Amino acid sequence: GAQFVTPMTLAARSEAEVYTSLWDLKNETEMGHIQLSREADLIVVCPATADLMAKMAAGIADDLATTLLLATDTQVMAVPAMNVRMWDHAATQRNVSQLRDDGVIVLDPDEGPMACGEYGEGRLPEPDAIFAEIEHWLGSSTQDRAHPLAGKHVVITAGPTREPIDPVRYIANRSSGRQGYAIAGALARLGANVSLISGPVALETPRGVNRIDVETALGMEAAVDAALPADVAILVAAVADWRAEASPRKIKKGETGGPPDLNLIENPDILAGLSRSDKRPELLIGFAAETDKVVGHAKAKLDRKGCDWIIANDVSGDVMGGAENSVHIITEAGVESWEQMPKSDVARKLAERIADVLA
CA distances from 340 to 170, 237, 312, 322 (A): 32, 20, 13, 12
Does the annotation count 46 as an active-site position?
A: no
Q: Supply the DSSP string of 273-310, one letter for each residue.
A: HHHHSTT--SEEEEEEEESSSHHHHHHHHHHHHT-SEE
Q: Which of 226, 212, 236 is nearest to 160 (CA)?
A: 236
In sequence order, which ranges of 190-269 are alpha helices (DSSP H)? 217-227
**In sequence order, what are the residues at sequence separation of 6 or more whose Cβ sits closer than 8 angstroms to the Cβ of residue 245?**
262, 263, 265
Which residues partner with 97 through β-bridges?
A: none
Check 2, 116, 226, 335 and give the catalytic one: 116
Which residues are part of the catalytic machinery? 116
